Amino acid sequence: MEQNTLFPADTYIVYNKTILGDMDRKILILLYQPIIGSVATSLYFTLWSYLDVTDTISKEWTHHHLMTSMRMKLKDIVQAREKLEAIGLMKTYQKQDNVNHYIYELFSPLTPSEFVNNPILNTTLYRNIGDTEYKKTIENFKIPNINVRDYEEITTPFKEVFESTNLSYEEQLEFEMKEKRNTNIEVESYLDLENIIAMIPDDLLSKRTLTKETRNLLHKLGFLYQFNEEQMCELIRNSLNERKSIDKVLLKNNCRKYYQFEHSGKLPSLVFRNQPEYLRKPLGDNSKKAKIIYQFETTSPYDFLCSKYNGIRPSKTDLSVLEYLLLDMDLKPGVVNVLIDYVLRINQNKLTKNFVETIASQWAKQKIETVESAMNLAEKEYKNRKNITHKKEIEKPEWFDRKIERKEASSEKQKEMEEMLKAFQ
């Protein structure tokens, strides 16, 4: 995607075709905020507040106004906006001019039921807040069971209150009405579903039961857990029911349990797939270094590590190192790529965890966020490392380079030495 630079003078309007209410505020705070963070949530509420009395459209504002209102830097607003776009709460449209113009279209959050049944969102929420808080959060949206067994339903049916007449009404609506609108999370599919399905015999899985919804679920589970085709095929086989169809609930449970077993009980979380747009080097520089920077910026850490291992899938230990860098240290993906490249070069192609943690801690303290600054720091540290290694070389003794003159012993001395040696035989 072409990189677009946002400026404070650029204008925007907020546009809304969905229906937003108080329940949506609760859903955003309790379910979405633990995933996208308070800044992105605050941006959504701020844009929502700019809508007119019909909650449809806002006045035109500049991004400078938004920066002043939220007391935030423009790059932080862009990052928050990208999170809203990626998670399906917003779409952005741009018209380029001397001053660029943007339209920010808001979408409703998913209902609690839709959210819980979305494997990516539900798993990430659980991972981010933990078991205890997750149960408390979900409890807010549960419907209490009321026993109506001893009651008689006396609801009045429609036909007893209303009746039809012969009045004609031919006017057709020529405008779009508001309705609850969501947008899907778009994930990049890397699984060949047709190949996976072909590996499962027809007497186990009926291909007619594979709806669009089921296929989307498979792609999301594959994206979330990073399963390969053999693993996904086996998980599908273990999730089939007597009707020769995939039991979606069972499949999600099997995927979660398998991943936890392989990762010491941990669950995956969401991180930036590659370097955020606002932290990338502007295009136009065709130097060798610029091309290297571009590769670091546009490659995910997982794919980058695979390339360093010649396409071989990284080990569990290596994946835990990536997770530590991206989640615990909160380093940007491009910076992680530079760090991986640097460590492998100076550490005999090994990602030793303690070694990585030491360097990552230093880079995090120095707030390294761009690939270029990470490369500069790595180069500086490499030079310092060479100097320290050179200084630590063992000092040569005085005799090391001295030429020793060889003197032949006299015949008397040789005879005396031979007599001494005989005493030890």
- Residues 103, 140: one domain? no
Which of 44-48, 142-146, 379-383 reaches the highest mean pLDDT?
A: 44-48
Whole-structure pTM value? 0.61
Q: How far apart are CA 40 and CA 99, in angstroms?
A: 25
Q: What pLDDT is attached to residue 174?
A: 60
Contact of 139 with 284, CB cutoff 8 Å: no
Residue 172 lies in a domain: no
Last residue of a domain, which of 109, 126, 156? 109
- Residues 353, 313: one domain? yes
Model confidence at 108: pLDDT above 80: yes
- Residues 190, 203: one domain? yes
pLDDT in tens, 306-363: 888 887 877 778 877 887 888 677 788 889 999 999 998 888 888 888 888 889 988 9
- Residues 266, 235: one domain? yes
Q: How far apart are CA 301 and CA 341, in angstroms?
A: 10
Element (H or E) spanning 15, and its range?
strand 11-16
User: Bigger pLDDT: 266 or 358?
Assistant: 358
Give residues with Cβ within 8 angstroms of 114, minimum separation 6: 182
pLDDT in tens, 10-35: 999 999 989 899 999 999 999 999 98
Q: CA dist 416 to 311, 406, 409, 411, 424, Å?
A: 72, 19, 11, 9, 14
- Residues 139, 63: one domain? no
- Residues 130, 244: one domain? yes
Concatenating the DSSP letter of every residue in 262-291 gives HTTT-------SS--GGGSPPTT--SHHHH
In which domain, by residue range, is 76 found? 11-109
Closest CA to 12 of 100, 108, 144: 100
Domain count, the chain: 3
Q: CA dist 321 to 145, 314, 329, 351, 410, Å?
A: 45, 10, 11, 8, 70
